[in-house]
Protein backbone atom coordinates (compact mmCIF):
# COMPACT_ATOMS: atom_id res chain seq x y z
CA UNK A 1 0.00 0.00 0.00
CA UNK A 2 1.28 3.49 -0.73
CA UNK A 3 2.04 5.60 2.31
CA UNK A 4 -0.39 8.27 1.21
CA UNK A 5 -3.26 5.85 1.68
CA UNK A 6 -2.64 5.85 5.42
CA UNK A 7 -4.31 8.27 7.71
CA UNK A 8 -3.85 8.38 11.44
CA UNK A 9 -5.99 5.74 13.02
CA UNK A 10 -7.17 5.80 16.57
CA UNK A 11 -8.68 2.97 18.50
CA UNK A 12 -10.56 3.40 21.74
CA UNK A 13 -9.15 0.66 23.94
CA UNK A 14 -11.13 1.61 27.04
CA UNK A 15 -13.97 4.12 27.25
CA UNK A 16 -14.82 4.06 30.97
CA UNK A 17 -13.44 6.07 33.88
CA UNK A 18 -11.67 4.55 36.88
CA UNK A 19 -13.43 1.36 37.99
CA UNK A 20 -14.78 0.53 34.52
CA UNK A 21 -18.42 -0.17 33.73
CA UNK A 22 -19.86 -1.94 35.58
CA UNK A 23 -17.59 -1.32 38.57
CA UNK A 24 -16.93 -4.42 40.68
CA UNK A 25 -18.45 -3.06 43.90
CA UNK A 26 -21.19 -0.87 42.44
CA UNK A 27 -24.86 -1.70 42.35
CA UNK A 28 -26.07 1.68 41.10
CA UNK A 29 -28.90 1.70 38.56
CA UNK A 30 -26.58 2.13 35.60
CA UNK A 31 -24.19 -0.64 36.69
CA UNK A 32 -27.17 -2.95 37.31
CA UNK A 33 -28.61 -2.12 33.88
CA UNK A 34 -25.27 -2.77 32.17
CA UNK A 35 -25.08 -6.11 33.97
CA UNK A 36 -28.43 -7.00 32.43
CA UNK A 37 -27.37 -6.00 28.94
CA UNK A 38 -28.60 -2.39 28.59
CA UNK A 39 -25.17 -1.36 27.34
CA UNK A 40 -21.84 -3.08 26.65
CA UNK A 41 -19.34 -3.36 29.50
CA UNK A 42 -16.46 -0.91 29.20
CA UNK A 43 -12.85 -1.08 30.30
CA UNK A 44 -10.81 1.76 31.75
CA UNK A 45 -9.64 4.80 29.88
CA UNK A 46 -7.06 4.46 27.10
CA UNK A 47 -6.68 4.93 23.36
CA UNK A 48 -4.11 3.75 20.81
CA UNK A 49 -2.98 5.87 17.87
CA UNK A 50 -0.95 4.99 14.78
CA UNK A 51 0.22 6.90 11.72
CA UNK A 52 1.19 3.82 9.69
CA UNK A 53 -1.15 1.20 11.20
CA UNK A 54 1.92 -0.78 12.21
CA UNK A 55 3.49 1.06 15.13
CA UNK A 56 1.16 2.15 17.89
CA UNK A 57 1.28 4.78 20.60
CA UNK A 58 -0.70 4.22 23.72
CA UNK A 59 -2.33 7.25 25.29
CA UNK A 60 -2.62 6.27 28.94
CA UNK A 61 -1.97 2.80 30.31
CA UNK A 62 -5.16 1.32 31.70
CA UNK A 63 -5.36 -1.33 34.41
CA UNK A 64 -7.31 -3.32 31.76
CA UNK A 65 -4.46 -3.09 29.28
CA UNK A 66 -3.89 -6.82 28.90
CA UNK A 67 -7.45 -7.55 27.77
CA UNK A 68 -7.44 -4.40 25.62
CA UNK A 69 -4.31 -5.53 23.76
CA UNK A 70 -5.69 -9.03 23.23
CA UNK A 71 -8.93 -7.59 21.83
CA UNK A 72 -7.03 -5.57 19.22
CA UNK A 73 -4.98 -7.41 16.57
CA UNK A 74 -3.10 -4.18 15.78
CA UNK A 75 -1.28 -4.56 19.10
CA UNK A 76 -0.49 -8.26 18.78
CA UNK A 77 3.21 -9.17 18.50
CA UNK A 78 4.66 -9.65 14.99
CA UNK A 79 7.20 -12.20 16.14
CA UNK A 80 8.92 -13.31 19.31
CA UNK A 81 8.93 -10.27 21.59
CA UNK A 82 8.20 -8.02 18.57
CA UNK A 83 5.56 -5.68 19.87
CA UNK A 84 4.06 -2.96 17.69
CA UNK A 85 3.88 -0.77 20.81
CA UNK A 86 6.17 2.24 20.33
CA UNK A 87 5.61 4.29 23.45
CA UNK A 88 3.14 5.35 26.11
CA UNK A 89 1.96 8.95 26.47
CA UNK A 90 0.39 9.92 29.77
CA UNK A 91 -2.09 12.72 30.37
CA UNK A 92 -1.60 12.53 34.17
CA UNK A 93 -0.55 10.15 36.92
CA UNK A 94 -4.04 8.93 37.89
CA UNK A 95 -4.22 5.22 38.66
CA UNK A 96 -6.78 4.49 35.94
CA UNK A 97 -4.31 5.99 33.42
CA UNK A 98 -1.09 4.49 34.75
CA UNK A 99 -1.61 1.15 36.54
CA UNK A 100 -1.18 -0.56 33.18
CA UNK A 101 2.47 0.53 33.12
CA UNK A 102 3.22 -2.31 35.52
CA UNK A 103 1.53 -4.74 33.15
CA UNK A 104 4.08 -3.79 30.49
CA UNK A 105 6.99 -4.88 32.68
CA UNK A 106 7.90 -7.75 30.33
CA UNK A 107 9.05 -5.15 27.80
CA UNK A 108 12.79 -4.87 27.19
CA UNK A 109 12.50 -1.11 27.26
CA UNK A 110 9.56 1.22 27.50
CA UNK A 111 9.40 4.81 26.30
CA UNK A 112 7.10 6.86 28.51
CA UNK A 113 6.07 10.45 27.79
CA UNK A 114 4.91 12.37 30.85
CA UNK A 115 5.22 15.87 32.24
CA UNK A 116 7.89 16.39 34.91
CA UNK A 117 5.07 16.70 37.48
CA UNK A 118 3.43 13.41 36.46
CA UNK A 119 6.85 11.74 36.30
CA UNK A 120 7.64 12.89 39.82
CA UNK A 121 4.31 11.52 41.09
CA UNK A 122 4.93 8.20 39.35
CA UNK A 123 8.39 7.94 40.94
CA UNK A 124 7.88 9.36 44.43
CA UNK A 125 4.09 9.32 44.89
CA UNK A 126 2.42 6.18 43.55
CA UNK A 127 5.88 4.72 42.95
CA UNK A 128 4.72 2.92 39.80
CA UNK A 129 7.71 3.97 37.71
CA UNK A 130 10.20 3.24 40.46
CA UNK A 131 8.75 -0.27 40.65
CA UNK A 132 8.68 -0.71 36.88
CA UNK A 133 12.35 0.22 36.64
CA UNK A 134 13.20 -2.95 38.55
CA UNK A 135 11.78 -4.95 35.64
CA UNK A 136 12.66 -3.06 32.47
CA UNK A 137 14.44 -0.02 31.14
CA UNK A 138 12.18 3.00 31.28
CA UNK A 139 13.07 5.83 28.90
CA UNK A 140 11.27 8.88 30.23
CA UNK A 141 10.66 11.70 27.74
CA UNK A 142 9.63 14.95 29.37
CA UNK A 143 6.42 16.41 28.03
CA UNK A 144 6.46 20.20 28.02
CA UNK A 145 3.12 21.83 27.31
CA UNK A 146 3.33 23.87 24.11
CA UNK A 147 6.44 22.11 22.77
CA UNK A 148 6.20 19.74 19.81
CA UNK A 149 6.94 16.08 20.45
CA UNK A 150 8.32 14.21 17.51
CA UNK A 151 6.77 10.76 17.76
CA UNK A 152 7.13 9.23 14.34
CA UNK A 153 7.10 10.19 10.65
CA UNK A 154 3.82 11.70 9.67
CA UNK A 155 2.51 12.26 13.17
CA UNK A 156 3.20 15.34 15.23
CA UNK A 157 2.04 15.87 18.75
CA UNK A 158 1.82 18.68 21.24
CA UNK A 159 0.67 18.61 24.84
CA UNK A 160 -1.23 21.46 26.43
CA UNK A 161 -1.75 22.24 30.08
CA UNK A 162 -5.13 21.42 31.64
CA UNK A 163 -5.74 23.34 34.86
CA UNK A 164 -7.30 21.19 37.57
CA UNK A 165 -8.52 21.70 41.11
CA UNK A 166 -8.63 17.97 41.78
CA UNK A 167 -6.97 17.15 45.04
CA UNK A 168 -3.87 15.15 44.30
CA UNK A 169 -3.74 11.96 46.33
CA UNK A 170 -0.02 11.57 46.09
CA UNK A 171 1.48 14.63 44.45
CA UNK A 172 2.45 18.06 45.61
CA UNK A 173 -0.69 20.21 45.28
CA UNK A 174 0.98 23.07 43.49
CA UNK A 175 2.57 20.96 40.79
CA UNK A 176 2.03 22.65 37.46
CA UNK A 177 1.47 20.29 34.55
CA UNK A 178 -0.26 17.62 36.60
CA UNK A 179 -2.78 17.15 33.78
CA UNK A 180 -2.30 17.69 30.06
CA UNK A 181 -4.24 17.04 26.90
CA UNK A 182 -2.68 16.07 23.56
CA UNK A 183 -3.22 17.47 20.12
CA UNK A 184 -2.02 15.10 17.39
CA UNK A 185 -1.71 16.09 13.76
CA UNK A 186 -1.50 13.84 10.74
CA UNK A 187 1.11 15.73 8.75
CA UNK A 188 -0.02 14.17 5.48
CA UNK A 189 -3.75 14.82 5.67
CA UNK A 190 -3.62 17.75 8.11
CA UNK A 191 -6.21 15.92 10.21
CA UNK A 192 -6.11 16.67 13.93
CA UNK A 193 -7.13 14.73 16.98
CA UNK A 194 -7.44 16.13 20.50
CA UNK A 195 -7.38 13.76 23.46
CA UNK A 196 -8.68 15.28 26.66
CA UNK A 197 -9.92 12.59 29.06
CA UNK A 198 -9.79 14.86 32.11
CA UNK A 199 -10.91 18.47 31.92
CA UNK A 200 -12.71 20.52 34.50
CA UNK A 201 -13.45 23.74 32.60
CA UNK A 202 -13.19 24.84 28.98
CA UNK A 203 -10.99 27.87 29.55
CA UNK A 204 -10.22 30.19 26.60
CA UNK A 205 -6.79 28.54 26.24
CA UNK A 206 -8.34 25.07 26.11
CA UNK A 207 -11.00 26.19 23.67
CA UNK A 208 -8.22 27.42 21.37
CA UNK A 209 -6.55 23.98 21.51
CA UNK A 210 -9.78 22.25 20.56
CA UNK A 211 -11.18 24.65 17.98
CA UNK A 212 -11.61 23.18 14.53
CA UNK A 213 -10.00 19.82 15.30
CA UNK A 214 -11.15 16.87 13.23
CA UNK A 215 -11.87 14.64 16.18
CA UNK A 216 -12.19 15.48 19.87
CA UNK A 217 -12.17 12.81 22.54
CA UNK A 218 -13.27 14.50 25.71
CA UNK A 219 -14.01 13.87 29.37
CA UNK A 220 -17.52 12.41 29.73
CA UNK A 221 -17.13 11.30 33.34
CA UNK A 222 -20.44 12.49 34.80
CA UNK A 223 -23.75 13.56 33.32
CA UNK A 224 -24.57 15.84 36.25
CA UNK A 225 -22.18 17.82 38.41
CA UNK A 226 -23.72 16.37 41.60
CA UNK A 227 -24.19 12.86 40.20
CA UNK A 228 -22.09 11.04 42.80
CA UNK A 229 -23.32 13.21 45.68
CA UNK A 230 -26.99 12.51 44.85
CA UNK A 231 -26.31 8.80 44.67
CA UNK A 232 -24.55 8.95 48.03
CA UNK A 233 -21.39 7.59 46.44
CA UNK A 234 -19.05 10.51 47.03
CA UNK A 235 -18.95 13.83 48.80
CA UNK A 236 -17.61 15.74 45.82
CA UNK A 237 -19.05 17.12 42.65
CA UNK A 238 -17.70 16.18 39.24
CA UNK A 239 -15.97 19.55 38.94
CA UNK A 240 -14.36 19.15 42.35
CA UNK A 241 -12.93 15.90 41.03
CA UNK A 242 -11.54 17.63 37.94
CA UNK A 243 -14.31 16.69 35.51
CA UNK A 244 -16.63 18.99 33.58
CA UNK A 245 -20.16 17.54 33.70
CA UNK A 246 -22.01 17.02 30.42
CA UNK A 247 -25.37 18.47 31.49
CA UNK A 248 -26.27 21.92 32.79
CA UNK A 249 -25.97 25.47 31.48
CA UNK A 250 -22.14 25.42 31.71
CA UNK A 251 -21.83 21.73 30.93
CA UNK A 252 -19.95 20.33 27.97
CA UNK A 253 -23.08 19.57 25.94
CA UNK A 254 -23.92 23.27 25.91
CA UNK A 255 -20.38 24.46 25.20
CA UNK A 256 -18.88 22.00 22.76
CA UNK A 257 -20.92 22.63 19.60
CA UNK A 258 -19.48 26.14 19.26
CA UNK A 259 -15.94 24.72 19.06
CA UNK A 260 -16.53 23.20 15.64
CA UNK A 261 -14.81 19.83 16.10
CA UNK A 262 -15.55 17.47 13.22
CA UNK A 263 -16.51 14.73 15.66
CA UNK A 264 -16.92 14.98 19.41
CA UNK A 265 -16.74 11.72 21.33
CA UNK A 266 -17.16 11.32 25.09
CA UNK A 267 -14.58 9.07 26.77
CA UNK A 268 -13.60 8.35 30.40
CA UNK A 269 -17.27 7.73 31.28
CA UNK A 270 -18.04 6.93 34.90
CA UNK A 271 -20.12 3.85 35.68
CA UNK A 272 -22.93 6.04 37.09
CA UNK A 273 -23.37 8.08 33.90
CA UNK A 274 -26.71 7.28 32.18
CA UNK A 275 -25.20 7.95 28.71
CA UNK A 276 -23.80 4.43 29.07
CA UNK A 277 -27.30 3.06 28.50
CA UNK A 278 -28.29 2.76 24.84
CA UNK A 279 -31.93 3.79 25.43
CA UNK A 280 -31.54 6.54 28.03
CA UNK A 281 -32.82 10.09 27.45
CA UNK A 282 -29.32 11.33 28.28
CA UNK A 283 -27.85 9.23 25.46
CA UNK A 284 -30.48 10.62 23.14
CA UNK A 285 -29.57 14.17 24.17
CA UNK A 286 -25.91 13.52 23.29
CA UNK A 287 -26.90 12.07 19.93
CA UNK A 288 -29.27 14.93 19.16
CA UNK A 289 -26.47 17.41 19.86
CA UNK A 290 -24.41 15.65 17.19
CA UNK A 291 -21.99 14.09 19.66
CA UNK A 292 -21.02 10.50 20.34
CA UNK A 293 -20.44 8.14 23.23
CA UNK A 294 -17.28 6.06 22.91
CA UNK A 295 -17.39 2.30 23.23
CA UNK A 296 -14.46 -0.05 23.60
CA UNK A 297 -13.16 -1.03 20.17
CA UNK A 298 -14.40 2.09 18.39
CA UNK A 299 -12.02 3.22 15.62
CA UNK A 300 -11.72 6.61 13.95
CA UNK A 301 -9.62 7.71 10.99
CA UNK A 302 -8.34 11.18 11.57
C1 LIG B 1 -11.26 10.05 38.11
O2 LIG B 1 -10.72 10.45 37.09
O3 LIG B 1 -11.74 10.82 38.95
C4 LIG B 1 -11.30 8.60 38.29
O5 LIG B 1 -11.62 7.88 37.19
C6 LIG B 1 -11.36 8.05 39.59
C7 LIG B 1 -10.55 6.81 39.75
O8 LIG B 1 -9.66 6.52 38.97
O9 LIG B 1 -10.82 6.11 40.70
MN1 LIG C 1 -9.93 8.81 35.94
ZN1 LIG D 1 -22.29 2.08 39.29
In a domain, 188, yes or no: yes
> Which residues are found with C-beta within 5 Å of the ion, ligand 2?
17-18, 94, 96
CB count in 10 Å sphere of residue 226: 16
Cβ of 94 less than 6 Å from ligand 1: yes
DSSP conformation letters of 178-222 = SSEEEEEEETTT--EEEEES--S---HHHHHHHTT-SEEEEE---
CB count in 10 Å sphere of residue 196: 25
Cβ of 18 less than 6 Å from ligand 1: yes
pLDDT of residue 6 exceeding 80 = no
When pLDDT is averaged across residues 50-74 and rounded to a whole number, the result is 97
CA pair distance 57, 9, nearest whole angstrom? 11
In a domain, 184, yes or no: yes
pLDDT of res. 168 = 80
Residues 234, 240, 243, 244, CA torsion sign: positive
In a domain, 274, yes or no: yes
Q: What is the CATH number of the domain that holds 191?
A: 3.60.15.10
Which atom of ligand 1 is closest in space to residue 241's alpha carbon?
3
Q: Residues 88-143: pLDDT tens digits?
A: 999 999 999 999 999 999 999 999 999 999 999 999 999 999 999 999 999 999 99
Our CA angle for 232, 63, 213, nearest 5°, is 85
Query: Total domain count for the chain?
Result: 1
pLDDT band at 40 (very low <50, low <70, confident <90, very high): very high
In a domain, 3, yes or no: no
CA pair distance 199, 179, nearest whole angstrom? 8
Tell me which of 147-151, 213-217, 293-297 is least confident.
147-151
Residues 220, 223, 225, 228, CA torsion sign: negative
> Which residues are found with C-beta within 5 Å of the ion, ligand 3?
26, 28, 31, 271-272
pLDDT of res. 177 = 82
pLDDT of res. 7 = 86
Closest residue (by CA) to atom 3 of ligand 1? 241
Q: How far apart are the first and last CA of the chain?
A: 18
In a domain, 302, yes or no: no
pLDDT of res. 175 = 60
Between the alpha carbon of residue 174 and those of residues 90, 163, 197, the distances in Å are: 19, 11, 21
Cβ of 96 less than 6 Å from ligand 1: yes
Cβ of 216 less than 6 Å from ligand 1: no
Is residue 155 within 8 Å of residue 183, measured between CB atoms? Answer: no
In a domain, 76, yes or no: yes
Which atom of ligand 1 is closest in space to residue 94's alpha carbon?
8
Closest residue (by CA) to atom 5 of ligand 1? 18
Q: What is the pTM of this model?
A: 0.96
Cis peptide before 118 (omega within 30 of 0): no
Closest residue (by CA) to atom 1 of ligand 1? 18
Range of 68's domain?
Answer: 9-297
Q: Give the distance (Å) from ligand 3 centre to CA of residue 170.
A: 25
pLDDT of residue 68 exceeding 90 = yes
In a domain, 2, yes or no: no
Closest residue (by CA) to atom 8 of ligand 1? 18
Is residue 149 within 8 Å of residue 125, measured between CB atoms? Answer: no
When pLDDT is averaged across residues 269-293 and rounded to a whole number, the result is 98
Q: Residues 162-181: pLDDT tens digits?
A: 999 888 887 766 567 899 99
When pLDDT is averaged across residues 2-28 and rounded to a whole number, the result is 89
Which atom of ligand 1 is closest in space to residue 242's alpha carbon?
3
Q: Residues 132-160: pLDDT tens digits?
A: 999 999 999 999 999 999 899 889 999 99
Work out the mean pLDDT of the chain and round it to a whole number.
95
In a domain, 286, yes or no: yes
Is residue 141 within 8 Å of residue 113, measured between CB atoms? Answer: yes
Is residue 42 within 8 Å of residue 21, measured between CB atoms? Answer: yes
CA pair distance 180, 199, nearest whole angstrom? 9
Amino acid sequence: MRRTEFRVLLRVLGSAAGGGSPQWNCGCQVCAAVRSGAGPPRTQSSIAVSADHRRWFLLNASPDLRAQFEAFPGLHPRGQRATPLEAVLLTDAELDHTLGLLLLREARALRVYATPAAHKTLCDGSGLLSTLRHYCTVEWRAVIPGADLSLTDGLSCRAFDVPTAKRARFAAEADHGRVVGYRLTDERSGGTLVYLPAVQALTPALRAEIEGCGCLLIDGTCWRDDELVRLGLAGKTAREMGHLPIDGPDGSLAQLPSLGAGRTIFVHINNTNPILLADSPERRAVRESGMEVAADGMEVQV
